[in-house]
Copies of this chain bind each other. A is one copy, B any other.
Amino acid sequence: MPDYRKFFSDDVPSFMRSPVREIFRKVDLSAIYSFAGGYPSAETFPLDRMQDLAGAVARKYGAKALQYGATQGVPELREAVAARCGVPVGNVQITTSSQQGIDVCARVFLNPGDVVLTTSPTYLGAIQSFRSYRAEIVSGELPEGKKAKFFYVIPDFCNPSGETMSLAEREALVERARREDFLIVEDSPYRELRYSGEPLPTIYSLAPERTLHLGSFSKIFAPGLRLGWMLGPEELLEQIYVCKQALDLCPPVFDQYVAAEFLSSGELDRNLASTVALYRRKRDLMLSLLEKYMPEGVSWTHPDGGLFLFVTLPEGVDTVAMYDEALSAGVAYVAGSFFFTDGSHRNTMRLNFSFMDEGRMEPGIELLSRIISSAIWKKSH
């Protein structure tokens, strides 16, 4: 048996396991109260439409729906996305998931030691990707003498915080990007899941010359298709296109036609409207349950959209340490410190409110609150 370690590239020691995916590997989520994943609700999937959609695609597009396709994505889906986003089709690249959109940005822009700016906390899958290229991930001011390649940001209903950047914050970011001359990677998988408040302009619309905007079908159709899109300047997309040729030649073709059908027929918008209504109820339910059950000293964000809210426990309560106990008791969350690149904020947790059935939300939050209360009590005794 060879010692495999000598074959690994210098990047490999920087590869991180997703703590979220590791939970899913070990635990049957349906057997517990899981607030852990970023899973859409199964109720929102047009499962009973898949047979007809597949049939329609086969009849309408014929063999090309099962053949290799263009690296940029099939024209029909690029055009549907371009129309929806109000941009020319030349500014649209279809991605094999918006996670691939993040990763291809990392691959095209980052050398080891390069700086990526981001908010803190931020999306774990982005941290994973940037770390795997040995980038330095910085929130706040740049280290002396360093320049940033790009700022990675989820302006709408951030994963994990649930927070939304104000227009002034967006403008300030754009102004800083222009002044300090870095790009912006705007990760926007939740933008259309707004339950209250008014939509704000995308960062892409404020700075189209230096923003790559990542969209996703995962939350407005189904994650099982692994389809997203990227908007950006043609010159940058051209380089991303060349990179993507070597990654997987093209995004899944049949699924792209299914998405094009679902989108251009208007079904996607009807399905999205009921998804938003469902998630609004779930968000409101979770907020009222936290109000009802959480002990004193616990606070949480009040998101206007998305899938998550972020809970802060009293200083000194450690959500990483109490995780196994919670899981044994039958409730799962993601420790908030995983979303901070320095592993700080061990008194925080991310809760997902989209996945769990409404009927199970109350016993789940009650159980979680009991475990938190007990951890607070232990800390002070």
Contacts and interface: CB of A to CB of B under 8 A. Distances in A.
A21 B245 CA distance: 8
A352 interface: no
A51 B47 contact: no
B66 A99 contact: no
Contacts of A218: 68
Interface stretch (A100-108, A158-166, A293-301): A100-108
A115 to B, nearest CB: 12
Interface string A101-142: 001000111110010000000000100110011000000000
A167 interface: no
Contacts of A54: 50-51, 53-55
Contact of A107 (B9, B24, B255): B9
Interface stretch (A223-231, A308-316, A325-333, A371-379): A223-231
Number of copies: 2
Nearest to A71: B21
Contacts of A250: 226
Given A12-B108, A54-B53, A128-B245, A65 B224 contact: yes
Residue from A48, A67, A132 having most chain B Cβ neighbours under 10 A: A67
A247 B273 CA distance: 30
Contact of A125 (B10, B39, B246): B246
Contact of A4 (B66, B133, B236, B253): B236
A243 B132 contact: yes
A67 B45 contact: yes
A238 to B, nearest CB: 10
